[in-house]
Amino acid sequence: MPTTGSRIEEIRSEITEIAQAVPGAQELMQAMVKLLHERMLKYNWVGFYMLEPDARPPMLALGAFRGATTPHTRIPLNQGICGAAASSGQTVVVDDVSKDPRYLACSLETKSEIVVPVFVHGKVVGELDVDSHFAAAFTPEHQDLVQYCAGLVGKKLEATGK
């Protein structure tokens, strides 16, 4: 059964309520990955990568996540779909990861992926990465949802500094 628009709306409003209730971005990221992973059928791995402060060269480090353990706990900006999203500041959607030479495999079951940057005062500080066992899982409605989630984390970081 496809995820309906009303289901996406339901998840969006639950996440909005959580964002208002939690004290900081760390709690928000933990709650967000749990909710998205448990409730969205095709979101089989959900996690945040955050830029390590002052790392040279710049490096993404795995933060809150749900799903299979990944070998990619640190990713330089010139590698992977994750590096592409962070270095360009653009959402990257890959409908078939087997056809994208940038792709770093986390699970052999992964077929499609979306990575959305998280911004604080206009600068990329990290990203929200979702992998699916289904090809082309991230339709425009899903892109909107994942972008909304990443946006909430950026706002929380701006508001609380943590």
Of residues 28-57, which lie at the interface with ligand SME (CB under 6 A)? 45
Which of 93, 112, 113, 149 touches ligand SME (CB under 6 A)? Answer: 113
Which of 37, 76, 103, 147 touches ligand SME (CB under 6 A)? Answer: 103
Q: Does 87 bind ligand SME (CB under 6 A)?
A: no
Q: How far is the CB of 146 from ligand SME (least distance, A)?
A: 14
CA-wise closest residue to 67 among 113, 101, 103: 113
Residues contacting ligand SME: total by CB under 6 A: 13
Angle value at C-alpha 51, between 62 and 13, nearest 5 degrees: 70
Of residues 1-30, which lie at the interface with ligand SME (CB under 6 A)? none
DSSP-derived secondary structure letter, 38? H
Which of 7, 72, 133, 155 touches ligand SME (CB under 6 A)? Answer: 72
Which of 82, 93, 128, 149 touches ligand SME (CB under 6 A)? Answer: 82
HSE of 14, CA atoms in CB hemisphere, 13 A: 14
Q: In whole angstroms, what is the distance from residue 74 CA to residue 51 CA?
A: 9
For ligand SME, the closer CB: 12 or 133: 133
